[in-house]
Structure 1
Amino acid sequence: MRICVLVSLLACCVCASEDDSALPRLTDLTAVEAYIDSAEVVVIGFLESEQSRGYKELVAAAKRVAPVPVAICSVKELWADLSVPSDTIALFRKADNHQETLVVSEAKKLETDGLVNFISVNEVRYITEYNQVTAVGLFSSEVKTHLLLFANRGSKDYDELKERLGALAPEFTGKFLFVMVNGAVKSNARSLGYFGLKSGHLPRVGLYDGGSDMKWLLPEGQITTERVRDFCQSFLRGDLKEVKQAGAEVGAKTEL
């Protein structure tokens, strides 16, 4: 009987502990900065307490966006150092050194589904797979130039190329967003067509400059880190301005 009671008490303690520590707590500036630096994308809820509006919804949303680390900072003295004026849910991403904020008091509705969407839309990584959700974050970024890898998911070199370009992306933080376009998805046919490509032409690497609405393709050949790096640097030097645009024969402007 005593053993049964002891097991029951331990079970209660574990549940309470798990509930109390549903999300990591950041209690000093060093911890906050380390957390922001710990992953490509992180979310921090600057919420005063568990009774704050949005707290329960953020805990629930965190379970649905598992790849994205989510933490809580309730120490208001730290908020001023981070330019947080009031209860706020903030997303930090390294790909473009950007901070996306959702001020709780300004949100008409604050539901779990809405927070999941807020995180998913703004989850721009060093190399982001293009789809209707991520397109919003990509095109709303202050970085308007995209380095695009067109490849068919399931092809023998898909994962290797994605990893190779993802490793190169940090060199161009703030200059390019690296984007993966899966040519095997029918909805991406329009993006391929904008560059004059079809799924059978892949893999290929392209560059799109949103500021000028101009686009170029890396010449056919092996897609190596060195060739892609030189391609990016050629754009930054202005060497691509006189190069014939990719898909020029397809005609009118088409949004990716």
Structure 2
Amino acid sequence: SKDTCQLAKQVDNEQLDLESKDIESIDATKLSRFIEINSLHLVTEYNPATAIGLFNSMIQIHLLLMMNKASPEYEESMHRYQNAAKLFQGKILFILVDSGVKANGKVISFFKLKESQLPALAIYRTLDEEWDTLPRAEVSVENVQNFCDGFLGGKRLRENHESEEKTPKVEL
């Protein structure tokens, strides 16, 4: 029998196996990364308790879905958002910000979004605080994927980038 290291996730009862060939070559960093990537929910709900872990995550790109959990589209949107999250596992952290929670207003205003523009997607890179938003987003796997791929590829949708683009940055 092959040696495998099993990691059982309490979140969704998935079992993840690390093959023995990987175990031999694994170091503490790789192992903690494997555990971190796989122990996070596909989507983490933002709240004071999870915020600290999110900010200290090794995954530097965070995608936030800002939506009211009480809205009729919530269930279906969340299902699609989770499916999209599978495509970017280990690359992008998928987060839900419930706009129905008053304290989350500061997160929404950080991205210069108004209640009327929700549901919205915002993507944020912790390294350089670069971010972009997709207001009034229809949450489909395709929309989420395109938005993420665009950001990863350096494309920005945000209007307030226009002023920056008029003065091209000179690469030295």
- TM-score under structure 2 normalisation? 0.72
* 1:29 equivalenced with 2:29 (yes/no): no
CA contact (8 A) 2:133 2:158 kept: no
Which residue of the other structure, out of 84, 92, 95, is the alignment partner of 1:176? Answer: 92
| 1:235 partner amino acid | F
**Bigger relative contact order, structure 1 or 2, given CA contacts below 8 A and separation 6+?**
2
Question: Where does residue 160 of structure 1 map in the other structure?
Answer: 76
Question: Where does residue 132 of structure 1 map in the other structure?
Answer: 48
Question: Where does residue 216 of structure 1 map in the other structure?
Answer: 132
Could you say what secondary structure the match of 1:184 adopts?
coil
**Distance change (3 Å), C-alpha of 1:81 and 1:237:** same
CA contact (8 A) 2:68 2:99 kept: yes
Mapped partners of 1:150, 1:139: distance in 2? 17
Stretches of structure 1 that go unaligned for 5 or more consecutive residues are: 1-27, 43-66, 70-79, 86-91, 101-122, 247-256
Instruction: Summarize the alignment of residues 219-230 of structure 1 with structure 2, pairs less than 5 Å apart.
Output: 219-230=135-146
Deviations 1:45-91 (A, max 9, x none): xxxxxxxxxxxxxxxxxxxxxx576xxxxxxxxxx869799xxxxxx
- Identity over aligned pairs, percent: 30
| 2:34 partner amino acid | N
Structure 1 position 207, deviation (Å): 0.7
| 1:154 partner amino acid | A
Mapped partners of 1:68, 1:229: distance in 2? 23
Mapped partners of 1:221, 1:228: distance in 2? 9
Mapped partners of 1:194, 1:99: distance in 2? 27
Larger Rg: 1
Stretches of structure 2 that go unaligned for 5 or more consecutive residues are: 14-22, 162-172
Mapped partners of 2:142, 2:116: distance in 1? 24
| 1:231 partner amino acid | F
CA contact (8 A) 2:118 2:135 kept: no
| 1:196 partner amino acid | K
Mapped partners of 2:36, 2:137: distance in 1? 37
Instruction: Summarize the alignment of residues 33-182 of structure 1 with structure 2, pairs less than 5 Å apart.
Output: 33=6, 36=7, 41-42=9-10, 67=11, 97-99=34-36, 124-182=40-98
Could you say what secondary structure the match of 1:143 adopts?
coil
Q: How many residues align?
A: 151
Mapped partners of 2:130, 2:96: distance in 1? 18
Question: Where does residue 117 of structure 2 map in the other structure?
Answer: 201
Mapped partners of 1:223, 1:99: distance in 2? 26
Could you say what secondary structure the match of 1:97 adopts?
helix
Which residue of the other structure, out of 142, 147, 168, is the alignment partner of 1:231? Answer: 147
**Distance change (3 Å), C-alpha of 1:98 and 1:245:** farther
Mapped partners of 1:167, 1:197: distance in 2? 25
CA contact (8 A) 1:184 1:199 kept: no
Mapped partners of 2:90, 2:71: distance in 1? 30
**Distance change (3 Å), C-alpha of 1:186 and 1:179:** same
